[in-house]
Structure 1
Amino acid sequence: MYSPSLKSPFISPSSSLSLTETVNGSHHFIIKGYSLAKGIGVGKHIASENFTVGGYQWAIYFYPDGKNPEDNSAYVSVFIALASEGTDVRALFELTLVDQGDHGKHKVHSHFDRSLESGPYTLKYRGSMWGYKRFFKRTMLESSTFLKDDCLKINCTVGVVVSAMDSSRLQSIHVPQSDIGTHLGMLLENEEGSDVTFNVSGVKFHAHKLVLASRSSVFEKEFDGMEEHNNEIVVTDMESDVFKALLHFIYRDTLIEEEFLESSSSCMSSLSKSLASKLIAAADKYDLPRLRLMCESVLCKDISVSSVANILALADRYHAVDLKSVCLKFAAENLVAVMESDGFEFLKENCPLLQSELLKTVAGCEEEVSEGGKTRSVWAQFSDGGDTNDRSVRQQTWDDGGERSQSLWVQLSDGGDASGRSPMQEG
């Protein structure tokens, strides 16, 4: 029988938290040459680069002639696609067509700012999409301030829904970012405790053997061979501003900010390109692979038809593997235009070994096309507007290599296609 006078035993309370939220990320997609994209065909799209949100890859698809055949190209269509493997991925989306006029009246379609009667959108598999077949009427778009200088700008935000047991928000301690680079940088600037001096074109830099040796095996060996009474090293193969940038990296693990533009910038000054070209040589000399990659990243943004040959020669000389790979693929996919550039003549005369590498890359692009890839056939560049019979020549070239590769190179350099005809000659 229950007695109210009996006290219940003490029970410790417990709690847990199930947290469902979105992991958000955004991507900015710029479409230049809108008028040239028209006529691509209904159901055919221009895709942005893939971007990652919530552990999944996503892409923006823009359909200049619309996605729906029934609309007869009256509308442009915009979609967000799941570009990686995934099953039942739940997400919120926002698509914004940026108004490039003075009013800033952007066209926004968003899940984020409205109540969701059926919850977030579910994408079942890779290739699933969310968006609008009738995103904007073409006639209205082309007379609006959304289109400026034949350019459109689309912002996309994806919020991937995740659920987890979360105790981190109940108690957490913030850990600041490492500032060791700042402290070492001050050591370089103050010259306190320096024990080695570099004379570079008359400019003297005071540094610390221990710091330099810990970062570069080349410096370590150089210091081991120094005489005790001699603490000055003369550098004859480098400019003073390049050596200053080299020391800045060694101590701070960053590039000199005033010499390199922000990563968000769409172009680079001639000064930054010139410094990056010289600094990559310093990175190779002193065996600093991270610095070399930083320079590769800067130079990669400058690759164009007119510059790719020179950058390719630079990458090959200083063992910049990633940059070289990007240059080879770009040159192969734009071979005709690259061959007409001034840099191509330099490449042909001074870097003969790169000829066969470029031809092999051309072959790789051809294989990608034959397997259903999106890359345009490189050989089709020579056959546009004329007849060509390149299959047998192409096969002999890749099988035999050597002389045949050189022979084909000469044919291409002379302005003819692989069959010996001029690209505009009809047989």
Structure 2
Amino acid sequence: MAKVGSIQDPEAPNSTRSISKTVTIKGSHTLEIHGFSLTKGMWVGKCISSDTFSVGGHLWQILFYPDGKNPRRDNYVSLFITLVSKKLVDNVRARFEYVVLDESGDHHHRSNGPYTLHDGYRTIGYDDFCERTPLEASRFVKDDCLTIQCTVGVVKTSMDVPKTVAQTSDLRQSYEQLLESREGSDVSFEVEGETFYAHKLILSTRSPVFKAQFFGPLKEENTCHIKIEEMQAPIFKALLNFIYCDVIPDLDSKCLDIIMTQHLLAAADRYGIEKLRSLCEARLCENIAIDTVASSLALAEQHGCTQLRSTSLEFIGLAENLEVVMQTDGFKNLKESCPAVIYDLLKYVARKRDYSSVSYDPDLNIY
């Protein structure tokens, strides 16, 4: 008699599914041009450049031409956004919006895209953004100041795994409640006078450092109460939250978020939690700023974060950023803590001077 087994019927339908998600990551930058009347006569093709700003993991810059970019349209002002990130691995798909503001919130608005930018086509905008003479007499010029706001929307597509019962379970919530309730905890940590309770087995499954500390051949004698030095209490709390719940907490202040993320990256590296370390590095790369880039570069050098190191060097190496960054306290600390990286920065700046401009496509207004 034949056995009844669990072999699938070869005639049964086999259905699978993939989900493609496309989202737009937006960011804006405002360029204020004081003394606008004095910009007339700069000559065609001469531009005013904004500071660089980061959107979607890429660096951008606004280019404003008071006497126009195209000699055939020198009665217009020209406005462009350019992608200034280093050599691209993949193409960048993005939308662009250009707005001239007045004090009441009214605006002159133009938009285009999405377009695909790459190493040969990095700049997009309008030769004929608006006529110069009517603009000079308009309400948009207040106290001889012209305000321009440009928005970049980077389009990103990813494949998503369809939700299943396992993905929608309450496992994360259960672990979060376990951490908060202290039920069954067998280890406590003292950090800056604050006490945190946890479970050795859970910590050990997430961190090779904790595993060696609690169960390794060279485990410490007293592993019931541990004092943590050189770490802030909120950072250790966030570290525990990630170990139990696999998420980084959302922080209110953007500036504080960057500083907290820097400390959290160092903590993740200290305890060998590679996923958290990578997430922190990605967040820092997305939020490069003048005030924090030097400390991020020092952090990258100390903890071997190659992507953060590359992104920070690229940002500091831009001519419009270099002098400003050098005046920050973070840069002074960088020179003292990581003097070797200053040499690498000088080499990067020297190489960047060889950068050549890209070609122009008159049909798309892309350079």
TM-score (norm 1): 0.55
Identical columns (%):
30
Counting only pairs closer than 5 Å after superposition, residues 77-88 of structure 1 correspond to structure 2 as 77-78=79-80
- Partner of residue 268, structure 1: 255
Q: Is the 8 A contact 2:206 2:243 kept in 1?
A: yes
- Partner of residue 397, structure 1: none
- Partner of residue 30, structure 1: 29
**1:378-399 CA distance string (max 9 Å, x none):** xxxxxxxxxxxxxxxxxxxxxx
CA distance change for structure 1 residues 36 and 245 in 2, over 3 Å: closer, same or farther?
A: farther
**Shift of the alpha carbon at 1:273?**
4.9
Q: Is the 8 A contact 2:296 2:312 kept in 1?
A: yes
Structure with bigger gyration radius: 1
- Partner of residue 191, structure 2: 200
Q: Residue 327 of structure 1 is aligned with which of 302, 309, 312?
A: 312
CA distance change for structure 1 residues 150 and 129 in 2, over 3 Å: closer, same or farther?
A: closer
- Partner of residue 233, structure 1: 226
**1:211-252 CA distance string (max 9 Å, x none):** 222221111111114579953333233332221121112222
Stretches of structure 2 that go unaligned for 5 or more consecutive residues are: 1-21, 157-161, 359-367
Counting only pairs closer than 5 Å after superposition, residues 14-413 of structure 1 correspond to structure 2 as 25=24, 27-34=26-33, 42-43=44-45, 62-65=63-66, 66-78=68-80, 95=97, 97=99, 99=101, 101-104=103-106, 107-108=109-110, 127=121, 132-141=126-135, 143-145=138-140, 151-155=147-151, 180-225=171-216, 226=219, 231-258=224-251, 260-261=252-253, 267-269=254-256, 272-296=257-281, 301=287, 303-304=289-290, 308-333=293-318, 334-348=321-335, 350-351=336-337, 354-372=338-356
Q: How far apart in 1 are the matches of 2:243 and 2:142?
A: 46
The root-mean-square deviation of aligned C-alpha atoms, in Å, is: 5.0
CA distance change for structure 1 residues 78 and 190 in 2, over 3 Å: closer, same or farther?
A: same
CA distance change for structure 1 residues 180 and 141 in 2, over 3 Å: closer, same or farther?
A: farther
Q: Which amino acid counterpart does residue 75 of structure 1 have in structure 2? A: V
Per residue, is there more strand in 1 or in 2? Answer: 2
Q: Which amino acid counterpart does residue 270 of structure 2 have in structure 1? A: K
Q: Is the 8 A contact 1:29 1:153 kept in 2?
A: yes
The structure with higher relative contact order (CA 8 Å, sep 6+) is 2
Q: How far apart in 2 are the matches of 1:154 and 1:137?
A: 18
CA distance change for structure 1 residues 67 and 336 in 2, over 3 Å: closer, same or farther?
A: closer
**Shift of the alpha carbon at 1:277?**
4.1
Q: Secondary structure of 1:268's match?
A: helix
Q: Secondary structure of 2:189's match?
A: strand
Q: How far apart in 2 are the matches of 1:133 and 1:156?
A: 18
Please identify, of 357-366 and 243-252, the stretch whose mean Cα deviation from structure 2 is larger: 357-366
Q: Is the 8 A contact 2:265 2:276 kept in 1?
A: yes
**Shift of the alpha carbon at 1:69?**
0.9
